[in-house]
Structure 1
Amino acid sequence: MASASTAALLYASAISTSQILGAQPEEAADRKHHAQGGKSFVNPWESYRDQGVWEIVKALVWRRIRGQANSPDTAPPTVPIREPQFHTSREETKALRATWLGHACFYVEFPNGLRVLFDPVFEDRCSPFSFLGPKRYTEPPCQIEDIPIIDAVVISHSHYDHLSYPTVLKIKEKHPNCQFFAPLGNKAWFEKCGIRNSTELDWWENRELKLTRMQAMSGSEELPTKVVEAGSQSGPAEISATIGCLPCQHTAARTPFDKAKTLWASWMVESGGKKVWFAGDTGYRTVPEVPNGEDDYGEKYKDLPHCPAFKEIGKHRGPFDLGMIPIGAYDPRFIMSPVHANPFDSANIFVDSNCKKALGMHWGTWVLTEEDVMEPPKLLKAALKQKGIDEIGVFDVCDIGESREF
C-alpha cells in the first residue's frame, strides 16, 4: 500500500470563498435555528423537546433504581470486523464506494477519485478522557495511517463520538492537505488544534472544493520516488465537489457548559456524478414514555409531530445515490427520541430524504444507550418490511470495515 499521504500530496486543494447557491426551502432564509443573535442554536420544530442534562441523568438513575434499565451484553460475537480494502490510487474507484469504519464513520470513494471521511473517531473511548467514558466493544478495523487518501473530512457535530481531538491531529499529520468541514461555531476549535484549512457552514450553505493535480518530476526531492510509484500522477487533472451543510434534529456540546453553542448538521457531497447524504446524528420525533410492549408508531401516537427537515432535504437536494443514516442509540425512547432515531424513524428518514440506497450507522461500536447491541439491524428489517421496502440491499447494514459499491 502507498504511504498514507502520498496521493494527497500530488493535489493542491482550494475552497470557494463565495456561497454556492443551491435549492432550499423559502423559510431557510429566516434562520429560525439561530438563537441569541447567532451565539447559540435550536431545533426549530415541534418534533423536538429540549431536555437538560440533569433531567436526563435523573431519569436514567431512576430507571436503574426501579430495575427498568437494560445493561447490553457486549460479549463476542457482536458485529463482524473486516480489514478494509482501500483503493490506493484514484483510478481504481470506478463506482461510488462506501466503507463503514464503525459507529458514524464512513470513508467514501467517488468515481472521479475524491475521497471523503465522515465523523472519524478512532479512539478506544468516546470521551474527553482516555480512562473514563464509553469503551469500544468492537475494535476499529484500521487506523488513520492505513487510509491512503483523505481529501476532505466532514464533521456532523461536536459530540465526542463524532469529533475526536487525537484523530483530527493524526489526520492533520498524515494528510496535511486535507480540508475539514464542520457546522457553524466549530472553526475556532479547529484553529486551536493548529488546523487552518477548515470551513464552517450554516444549514443550506454550500461550498465548492477543487483539487488540482500538481506537476511533479520523477526523482524530485519534494516528491519521493514512492509517490510516483503510487500511480497518482495519472489521476484526473482536476477533481471538483460540492459540499453542502443541511439540517438535522440534534444538539452539540463538548462540556456541560457549552450545549448548543455550536451547530449540528447533516451533509451532502456531490462529486463525479454521484451524490451522497450523511445524516449525522439525528432524531425524527419526540416520543413520550409509553408502557412496555406498546408501539409508539401505533394509532395512539400517529399524530406525534415529526421533523420536516428530511422531506425538505429530499425535495431540494435529492435524490441521493447513497444515504448514511443512524439506526442506533435510541433506548429508552422517551429520553433519546428527540435526538436519536430508532430503526422505524430511520426508515421514515430514508424515504423522506429521497435516498435511492442507504447504509445504517451509529451502532455496533460503543454502548451509549440501553438497547441490545445487535437489536438495531433486526428492527431495521422489521421497519423496512412495514413500509413495504423489503428488497435486499436497499437500506442495509454491513460489517465494520466492509465496502459496498453503489
Structure 2
Amino acid sequence: MITEQYIQTIFAPEINLTLDGKQTEGELIRITCEISSRPDFDEIQWFNGSFLLNMTNQTRLEVKLTRYMHGNRISCQVKNQVGKRNQSLTLQVNYKPVFVDLHGNEMNNYSVVLVDEEQRVELQCLVSSFPSSIISWIFNEKILSTNQTTLKIDHLQIGSYICTAHHPLFGIFNQTIRVALKGPPEMLEETIIHSAYVGQSALLICSISKDIPTEEIFWSRDGQSKINSNEKYEIEENRTDRLIEYKLLIKNVFVSDEDSYICTTMNQYGSSIAKFQLRVISLKNYFIQRSFLYGSIVLGLSCCLILIVITLINHYRRKNHQRIRKRSSTTDETISSLAKQHDQMQHDYQDETNSNMDQYLFHEQFINNHRDDICDSSHDDQFYFRDNLERYSTVV
C-alpha cells in the first residue's frame, strides 16, 4: 500500500514596498505593498511614522504630498497565523523655499528691522526647502555675500536688503528686510485738500506705513478733542501687509463742517500727523459751477456742430466747382473738335474748288489751242477733232 503525503511549508509574510509617482509637493503618489505569505495574511496596516492610517486590509496607499511629509517613514505591516512583518520607506519630498524663523515657523516675505544710528546690525535669513537652496544677500542691486544665512552690517546703510533663495527646481524666491531708524510712525501723505458739496458725505483716508510700529491712531478737528464714531462721523481701519488705512467718513456735510481734520499716529518714539483741509461748497456755488459746466458743454457742442456744417458746405462747394470745371473742360474739348472738323472741311472744299478751276482752265486753254481743228457735235456739250473721231465733253 502506497501513501502519498503533501507537506506545505508555512511562513510569515514577506513584504516588498514599491513607490509610483513623482515625489514633489502637491503630487499624488501610490505606494504598493506586495505580499507573499502562507497561510494568507489576516491583516494589513499602514503607518505614517508612528501614526496608524485608516487604510486597513488594502495593499495600495495613495498620498498627496506636502512639504511637511518630507522625511516621513511610511510603513506597511502585515500579519498572518505565523507572524507579523513590516517594511517602510522614507519620503524625499521636493518642495519650494519658504522663509522661516528660528523655530521653523513660516515668515512673511517682507519685514522691518528698527535700529539706532551707528548701530551694528546682523540680519538673518533662514530658508526651508528640499533640495537645499543657495542663499545670496543683495543691496542696491549689488551682491554682498553668498551661501550665508547671516549678514553682518558694520557700516549701517538705511534701505532694503534682499535675501535671495535659488532652488534648483522651483527657481528664485526673495525676502525683503527693510532697515529703518527708530522713530515715530511714517505718514505717506502729510497735507491733503478735500472738497465736498453741502449735503454730501466726505471720506478722508489717512495712510500709514506699517514699516514702523504704531501704537495708537486717532482723528481730531483742528484744536479740538478726538473724534469718535457717532451719527455724524464713522471711523474705519483697514490693514494690509505694508499699509494701514485709517478712514473718517463725515456724513451730511454742512458749511460749518469746513475745517482742518488731523490724523495722528503715535508710538514709543514719537508721533506723526497728516492734515486734511475740508472745503465745503454751498448750493449757490454748486449751481453756479454746474451751470458753468453744462453751459461750457453746450457751447462746445454748438461750436463742434458749426464747424461740421461749415466743413460740409466747403466740401459741397469744392465738389460742385470740380463738376463745373469738368463740364467746362468737356465743352471746350467739343468746341475745339468741331472747329478742327470745320477747318478740315473748308480745307477740303478749297482743294476741290481749286482742282475744278484748274481743270476748267486746262480745257479752255486746250480748246483755244485747237480751235481750228475742232468740230461741233450734234450734242451741245461735246466736240471732236477732225483727225480724231473721239468725242470730248465740254462740261467740266
In the superposition, the TM-score normalised over structure 2's length comes to 0.19
- Compare relative contact order (CA 8 Å, sep 6+) and give the higher one, 1 or 2: 1
Richer in strand (by share)? 2
TM-score, normalised via structure 1 length = 0.18
Larger Rg, first or second structure (1 or 2): 2
